[in-house]
Amino acid sequence: MLRSALLTFRMHRFEVLLVAVLLTLTAVSALVARSHVAAANPSNECWSQNWSGGSTLECQASVANFWGAADEASFVASPLAVSLPFIVGLLLGVPIVGRELELRTAGLAWSLTGRRWRWLLARFVPMLILGGGGLLIVALLVADMARVAHPWNYLGPGRIPDLTEIGSEGMPLAARGLMTLGIGLLLGAVAGRTLPAFAIGTIACFALLFLGVPFLQGRVGEGVAVWRDQTDDRPALYVPGISDAGYRAPDGTILSFAQAQALAAGQPCPPDETSPDPGMGKAVTGAPVADCSGQWLAANGYAAVTRVAPIESYPTFENAEIFATSTIGLVCILLTFPIVSRRRPA
């Protein structure tokens, strides 16, 4: 097995070397950044003062210094980590079958064994271990760096997650790598040429990133979204496509903004007890001249609400992406086996 892995790495030495350099660079930059950020981290007391107000000048300087370090830290490691699964996946996935067909070496290999699935496994598994293992290590290091870089938020210790960060660290990053590796493997086997497979793979990855991910988050968001009073200042996740506003009736029914407006239309303005002139806002004829629907709704127990995904639902989004990307990757990998079995070598 080790001999077979070494042969695979020698066959694709350029890609293996490039991937190893990228993985090492990202891992080292995450480690260095983490240590810089950790060294600049102010005391808990300082953080607490910072968010509650009234911090000392020394504390303010310390926090400002920390944010500077955190920004610098994320400057190298984070962009690398976001693009790494796509680069690693395509670089390692495409040539496994694509180059063998392109350079006509598949004919020799397939004339030596009738079990092409074993040949494919022997070529694929080392690449999976290198790419998957490397990405997993990088993903964990970047996640740790991000944790250290966000020690406190305005509610207390910890970090407020953001859906745009999914895929830049932790398991979702590794799962994206698996997906791209599978896509690259499949495209290489289908196209039988590396350059077209790289080009199509890149387009597919962009499409998944910019269309697939928002679509998935929207679908998950539909399931987890709740209506929350606009006065509720607890943090929430911004989910593309699910943001909405309306009113909650006293009986708990949610009305859309238009429905609420229709309900309040024509209602007299409630007396404004804070105004020295209770009749202000009305014309001499008694017809309303100002839109008092908001006041009427508030006075009658209708609360303005916003549809948001609660922060606690972040793991649901994360797990959904891990599941979706891993599934796409595994399906692509499994589809490659029958294709290789039927493929005619050049």
Residues that bind another protein (CB under 8 A): 3-4, 7, 10-11, 13, 103-115, 118-119, 122, 344-345
Nearer to another protein, 122 or 339 (CB): 122
Whether the CA torsion 303, 304, 307, 311 is positive or negative: it is negative
Nearer to another protein, 214 or 345 (CB): 345
> Measured from the CB of residue 199, what is the shortest distance to another protein in angstroms?
23
> Measured from the CB of residue 190, what is the shortest distance to another protein in angstroms?
17
> Measured from the CB of residue 23, what is the shortest distance to another protein in angstroms?
22
Question: At which residue do the structure tokens 């080009």 appear?
Answer: 199
Residue type present at position 283: A
C-alpha distances (whole Å) from 256 to each of 4, 211, 246, 248, 293 are 63, 28, 4, 9, 14
Nearer to another protein, 123 or 248 (CB): 123
Nearer to another protein, 118 or 234 (CB): 118
- The angle formed by the CA atoms of residues 179, 197 and 138, to the nearest 5 degrees, is 35
Strand 244-248 relative to strand 254-256: parallel, antiparallel, unpaired?
antiparallel
Nearer to another protein, 13 or 234 (CB): 13
The Cα 14–Cα 113 span in angstroms is: 26
> Measured from the CB of residue 165, what is the shortest distance to another protein in angstroms?
40
Outline where the chain has alpha helix (H). 2-11, 13-40, 44-52, 57-102, 106-112, 116-149, 170-191, 194-207, 213-224, 257-264, 293-299, 314-342
> Measured from the CB of residue 16, what is the shortest distance to another protein in angstroms?
11
With CA atoms as reference, report the closest residue to 224 among 207, 241, 245. 241
> Measured from the CB of residue 321, what is the shortest distance to another protein in angstroms?
37
Nearer to another protein, 123 or 176 (CB): 123
The Cα 281–Cα 265 span in angstroms is: 15
